[in-house]
Amino acid sequence: MIAPNSEGFWELAVGRLVSIPASYTRPVLSITEVQHALRCSVDEVGRVLDAGFPLYAVDGGLRADARDVFNLAINSGSSRTLAEVSAAYALRFAIDGPSSWCRRRHWTLHLQLECPSANRSWLVWPLLAAPSAHSAGPSSRVECGATSMYSAIQDVVGSADTIRSPALREIVVDTLQPGPRYARVPIELSLDEAWMAKHNLVDCRSATRTLSRMIEARGYRVRECVGWLAGPVASEHAWLEVEDDDGAWKSIDIAFHVLAQLLLPDQVKSDVFLGSKPDRLLRSECPLDSPLVEHVDCVNEFSCRTVATARLS
């Protein structure tokens, strides 16, 4: 492994990057912010840019798409970028393994919706009454314009289990065989199976959709789940649940599997996300093809954000 400050390190990382296609770009980060996100020197960020990292001219300055920066960082192998450090921190619950996931946990999710314009609307998919409940359908989105807050509780019990069905195990092995790389992409691209496969990329929605299609075709019942990974910073996530041959519902989380093997390979066992259910995934009503939180009719869009936390109570 080459050190991040060595000749060739960032050039290789940029060479591997699949950048966000032009029609989807949202260039918002300055070069100083890129340097901060990569936690590298001025010299290193210069090499990143010289290697062809995509920049866009906006209002007389050059800006980068935050997802390009994240995707470069998470797959860089530097161990020090903000993307790698924060994702490894979010996944550290997997180090103790599924045997520690089987207690009942009472979570409180809190969303703070920040926008400089008054009275702009936010649409939030609420948490399900229980993680295994059936969705109430599209009528259930909550409008959070006036308060800019959304709070909900959910009790979650995880499980420690393995996939029994040989057919399901085969599908998982086939999905992981090309060694897909994790990437953050817009929902439209994530659900474009041909585009993701062509670039050998995976994110939580793409993995959930691809697996769900293949597993349903073999006659198994599946649930495409969208919600939040609980923590001091809660993050959006999607995962698949499937009814195995033994009648138990199992969670298959290819995206977390790929991330854990990338970031914590010596600490997280390789089957942790293939059959067991984490006790910190809060399931919402949100379908796979919809954003979990949507901001409506705002001209500021780039300065508006969702701050999510989920704590035990």
**Cα–Cα–Cα angle for 93, 112, 103, nearest 5°?**
30
The tokens of 176 are what?
A: 């992981």
Give 118 or 217: the residue with its C-beta nearer to Zn ion: 118
Q: List residues bridging with 151 in a β-sheet.
A: 110
Give 3 or 118: the residue with its C-beta nearer to Zn ion: 118
The tokens of 278 are what?
A: 């984490």
Residue 123 binding Zn ion, by CB under 5 A: no
Q: How far apart are CA 226 and CA 288, in angstroms?
A: 6
Whole-number minimum distance, CB 263 to Zn ion, in Å? 32
Q: The sheet that has 104-114: what strands, in order across it? A: 149-157, 104-114, 305-312
Q: Which residue from 47, 63, 105, 120 is in contact with Zn ion, where contact means CB under 5 A?
A: 120
Residue 304 binding Zn ion, by CB under 5 A: yes
Residue 300 binding Zn ion, by CB under 5 A: yes
**Is residue 192 a contact partner of residue 21, using CB atoms and an 8 Å limit?**
no
Q: Phi and psi at residue 249, in whole multiples of 5°?
A: -85, 130
**Is residue 250 a contact partner of residue 277, using CB atoms and an 8 Å limit?**
yes
Whole-number minimum distance, CB 307 to Zn ion, in Å? 13
Whole-number minimum distance, CB 143 to Zn ion, in Å? 14
Q: 3-state DSSP call for residue 177?
A: coil
Q: Which residue from 87, 88, 115, 272 is in contact with Zn ion, where contact means CB under 5 A?
A: 115
Give 54 or 145: the residue with its C-beta nearer to Zn ion: 145
Helix (H) or strand (E) holding 257: helix 254-263
Give 102 or 304: the residue with its C-beta nearer to Zn ion: 304
Whole-number minimum distance, CB 217 to Zn ion, in Å? 41
Residue 298 binding Zn ion, by CB under 5 A: yes
Residue 144 binding Zn ion, by CB under 5 A: no
Span interacting with Zn ion, options 62-70, 211-219, 267-275, 297-305, rule CB under 5 A: 297-305
**Is residue 222 a contact partner of residue 215, using CB atoms and an 8 Å limit?**
yes
Span interacting with Zn ion, options 36-44, 111-119, 150-158, 247-255, rule CB under 5 A: 111-119
Residue 184 binding Zn ion, by CB under 5 A: no
Give 160 or 298: the residue with its C-beta nearer to Zn ion: 298
Chain center to CA of 8: 29
Residue 113 binding Zn ion, by CB under 5 A: no
Q: How far apart are CA 279 and CA 88, in angstroms?
A: 17
Whole-number minimum distance, CB 112 to Zn ion, in Å? 13
Can you state the percent helix, strand and coil of the chain, rounding each to 5? 35, 25, 40
Number of residues that bind Zn ion (CB under 5 A): 5
Whole-number minimum distance, CB 244 to Zn ion, in Å? 44
Residues that bind Zn ion (CB under 5 A): 115, 120, 298, 300, 304
